[in-house]
Amino acid sequence: MAASTPAPVSADLPSATPSYPAAASTASRSAAAFWADADRHLVRYGGDFTREIIDRAAGSFLFTADGRKILDFTSGQMSAILGHSHPEIVATVQRQVATLDHLYSGMLSRPVVDLARRLAETLPAPLEKALLLTTGAESNEAAIRMAKLVTGKHEIVSFARSWHGMTQAAASATYSAGRKGYGPGAPGNFAIPVPNTYRPDFTTADGALDWRRQLDFAFDLIDAQSTGSLAACLVEPILSSGGIIEPPVGYFAALQAKCRERGMLLILDEAQTGLCRTGTWYAFERDGVVPDILTLSKTLGAGLPLAAVLTSAEIEQEAYDRGFLFFTTHVADPLVAAVGNTVLDVLTADKLDERARSLGTFLRAGLEDIAGRHAVVGDIRGRGLLAGLELVTDRETKHSSDELGARVTRRCLELGLHMNIVQLPGMGGVFRIAPPLTATEEELSLGLTILDEAIGDACAER
């Protein structure tokens, strides 16, 4: 189905009538009762909840129960690349859920086979085999499992500021958060340093990042620790939870060579960078490398739970011959596969890769303008509509302040802009800016204006 440029979703649409009993509707209960129920009954899974009751979402905006309108600069959980409630996604869900929603995991449907074929058509050879799953953690879990089975080895290498998910193998390859207090992870997981050009650890004579020396040093350490069972290297083309860090051109080709020398597979996790967000269909295109296994998630479902593992026919055949098992409840589900096909329709028809490049240039110029007015902006980085802005207290020393980042984030929300900030040891607060690819220049301008004001207000508080 060909897609056309979607009409803007009106901010004046009536709220949907709740489908659950009126007695339980948030519309009939006070905010105090809502938060009392939330505090009493919900498990906290990542810090405190944002104290806003979100009633609905449309396009680039969220709408709260008390009538506030909030510009969403995170695309939900970095996923809603077509904005919220995109009319073609809504139509697909309504149509598909009424005809074929879920199947026994060994059965196939046309949406699943169509999506596998169409994803292969967007990728370079030899990536042509797809496994359709639900979340990024699940796709990375499957990719690691496949790599271990095919190579007959078990050791996994990842970046020291990585985020690949919260299931066992994915969490064991995640180093940016969540490692303490849970006992041992999977055996044989190793971290290598992130090639951060803003905060270089290995430097050339002029102070620039010497990433080749850093990479050589990293694999010298890996070789010293390995038991001779190196299976794969799992990395993000642009580290997102690690602070929007993009390795230099040439790095991934050199990394792939390190993998080849050791008989390792290269797995690229494009949960946040895949499907046009960075201005190309896949972020790895910049580097001229093709991974052995590619994982997709967040952007593939445009906000719905859909993920994929893609690999070559050779690797898939070897995995099959060795009895590869990844039988899950929602593997190859037709409902979300139909959504994935619609996502590809819209990305293609509306040329959202080109749009991400154009809007990314616009966004970058606006962020640089903000940096020119606020000395606390230390660095701006990223690609396309995945941008990072790092806050520091001193541009020379690059000293960080968690308190400053928290103040700016809080003030942004007060002014009507939802932002996400990454705060890790050894770096300042880094805003992860990822608006929908369907956002307008006017909406980006609004977000930039609010961010500018929020930084000014937060600095004035000190």
The three-class DSSP label of residue 190 is: strand
Judge whether 236 counts as a catalytic residue.
Answer: yes
Helix axes 110-121, 334-349, angle to 10 degrees: 40
Q: Looking at 138, 236, 287, 443, which residue is catalytic?
A: 236
Tell me, rounded to whole angstroms, the distance of Cα 410 from its chain centroid: 22
Cβ–Cβ under 8 Å, residues 295 and 261 = no
Judge whether 432 counts as a catalytic residue.
Answer: yes
Judge whether 272 counts as a catalytic residue.
Answer: yes
Judge whether 351 counts as a catalytic residue.
Answer: no
Give the integer Cα–Cα distance in Å for 101 and 293. 28
The residues, ordered by sequence, that sit 6+ positions from 69 with a Cβ below 8 Å of its Cβ are 11, 61, 62, 63, 416
- Rg (alpha carbons) of the chain, rounded to whole number: 22
Q: Looking at 163, 345, 353, 383, which residue is catalytic?
A: 163
- Dmax over CA atoms of the chain, in Å, equals 69
The residues, ordered by sequence, that sit 6+ positions from 290 with a Cβ below 8 Å of its Cβ are 124, 125, 126, 127, 284
Give the integer Cα–Cα distance in Å for 75 and 433. 9
Q: Looking at 298, 355, 383, 411, which residue is catalytic?
A: 298
Q: Looking at 272, 381, 390, 407, which residue is catalytic?
A: 272
Q: Looking at 153, 407, 411, 432, which residue is catalytic?
A: 432
Q: Looking at 155, 246, 269, 390, which residue is catalytic?
A: 269
Judge whether 163 counts as a catalytic residue.
Answer: yes
Cβ–Cβ under 8 Å, residues 419 and 458 = no
The three-class DSSP label of residue 132 is: strand
Judge whether 129 counts as a catalytic residue.
Answer: no
The three-class DSSP label of residue 354 is: helix
Cβ–Cβ under 8 Å, residues 266 and 233 = yes
Give the integer Cα–Cα distance in Å for 238 and 67. 36
Q: Which residues of 397-436 are buried (b: 16+ CB within 10 A; e: fewer)?
A: ebebbeebbebbbebbbebebbbbbbbbeebbbbbbbbbb
Q: Residues with catalytic annotation? A: 163, 236, 269, 272, 298, 432
